[in-house]
Amino acid sequence: MQEEIFELIEGKKYARLRELLSDMNPADIAQILEDVPERELPVIFRILPKELAAEVFVEMDSEMQQLLIEAFSDTELREVMDELFMDDTVDIIDEMPATVAKRILSQTDAKTRKMINQLLAYPDDSAGSIMTTEYVDLKKNMTVDQAFDRIRNVGLDTETIYTCYVIDQSRHLLGIVTVKDLLLNEKSRVLSDIMDENIIYANTLDDKEEVAGQFEKYDLMALPVVDKESRLVGIVTVDDAIDVIQDEATEDIEKMAAILPSDKSYFRTGVFSTFKARIPWLMLLMISATFTGAIISSFEEKLTIFPALIAFIPMLMDTGGNSGSQSSVTIIRGISLGDIEFRDIFKVIWKEVRVALCCSTALAAVNFVKLWLVDYLLLHTFDPGKQIPEILVVCFTLLLTVIVAKFIGCVLPILAKRIGFDPAVMASPFITTIVDAISLFIYFRTAILILGI
């Protein structure tokens, strides 16, 4: 398929190309156009039927969009923009350099421009920033038949027709009517009798992640958004909610791995941008790890007396780090999904401490048996008279470290969230460093106590 298209482009067989592309899905066309040479792009774009062209345009990444806009005449630009839904227009303008954005705005009428500027003003993470302003609004005294007439009139230009919004004269939201309701009711019934007044809605400034969560919880197709005066100003559709869910998951994963989140896909991010996203945490964590080094330094002389203790440092640090991140990651995800809130903190601690007791006992026991069986009975590298105290130190440290690591791992994200920080940022990258320092501290204190050094 892809090869055939490239051959047609090569051979400039545009009539056949148009025919072929017209049957394809916008998302697939946009994907194919990514591999087309830049100078060919405007030509191929122009042969697409007008409506399809706009749909393909929306699916493109912002670099390709900018390239096309710069190649467009004013008329072409206006034609494409006229076909777009408001939320897509705003997204595109948001990504463009100021001059390009200005040119786009200059091609829209005053009313649209005002609307766009209003939408652009909503904070990036708000419901307002992902909503669209094209929806079907109805009046409560309309009949089912009248409602269908209105849907037929405005439906082509709205993002969804299946959920319609019943509003009063000041645009206050009164109820919701679905096309299913309309189809299953008598044509003469009045909307106020059949509309659902138990509405799930969002405010323009609500967090978009929470809004996406509502789609999941209530299995919604669309969600109305109201302003401070409870007037309907837009709707969020399920496709945008899915994008938010995916983006937020990616963002959480990036933060947990000590990366500054980016909103572009892997290959779209340049080497320098990737570097900039990764180096701040690497730097911070490297510097904070020198404190762990300081703990070792202060214990240096004693370590030269018991050099065998050095070999256990990586195992204790890693096991502590892994135990801590297991807890923190579980809790962070639970917070993201709305399963865990601040009031659950003691419930969480109680659970994590019991899990930690099981884990640490099992780990310490296996470690003890391993040292005894393998190192002593099998390899004979182990001198029971001298080293049993050392092994006790290691096992006891393991026991304590895992418990402390899991405690910190579960408490830190919840506290971070409570004081308004992002749990994924505040908790996850730091866990390893904090747990490293603590596990070494426990290790050396235990050594001093048991070995009497």
The secondary structure element, H or E, covering residue 198 is none
297 half-sphere exposure, CB direction, 13 A CA radius: 6
Name residue 163's beta-bridge partners: 178
Tokens of 263: 């909103």
- Pair 231, 170: CB distance under 8 Å: yes
How open is the CA angle 360-327-439, to the nearest 5 degrees?
50
Q: Is 37 in a helix, a strand, or coil?
A: coil
Among 34, 38, 74, 243, indicate the residue that binds a copy of itself (CB under 8 A). 243
CB of 169 to a copy of itself, least distance (A): 25
- Pair 306, 393: CB distance under 8 Å: no
Q: Which is nearer to a copy of itself, 118 or 322 (CB)?
A: 322
Q: Which is nearer to a copy of itself, 120 or 161 (CB)?
A: 161
219 lines the binding site for a copy of itself (CB under 8 A) = yes
301 lines the binding site for a copy of itself (CB under 8 A) = yes
Neighbours of 80 (CB within 10 A): 24
Residues 344-363 contacting a copy of itself, CB under 8 A: 344, 347-348, 351, 354-355, 358-359, 362-363
The secondary structure element, H or E, covering residue 199 is none
Q: Which stretch binds a copy of itself (CB under 8 A): 13-21, 138-146, 225-233, 364-372?
A: 364-372
3 half-sphere exposure, CB direction, 13 A CA radius: 0
What is the DSSP code (8-state) at residue 203?
Answer: E
CB of 73 to a copy of itself, least distance (A): 29
Listed residue (176, 193, 89, 81) closest to 138, CA to CA = 176
Rounded Cα distance, 178 and 191, in Å: 11
392 lines the binding site for a copy of itself (CB under 8 A) = no
Q: Which stretch binds a copy of itself (CB under 8 A): 60-68, 99-107, 108-116, 310-318?
A: 310-318
418 lines the binding site for a copy of itself (CB under 8 A) = no
Residues 8-27 contacting a copy of itself, CB under 8 A: 23-25, 27
Residues 152-211 contacting a copy of itself, CB under 8 A: 152, 155-156, 161-162, 179-180, 183-184, 198, 200
Q: Which is nearer to a copy of itself, 100 or 405 (CB)?
A: 405
246 lines the binding site for a copy of itself (CB under 8 A) = yes
**How many residues of this chain bind a copy of itself (CB under 8 A)?**
108
319 lines the binding site for a copy of itself (CB under 8 A) = yes
- What phi, psi does 204 have (nearest 5°)? -55, -35
Among 7, 106, 275, 373, indicate the residue that binds a copy of itself (CB under 8 A). 275
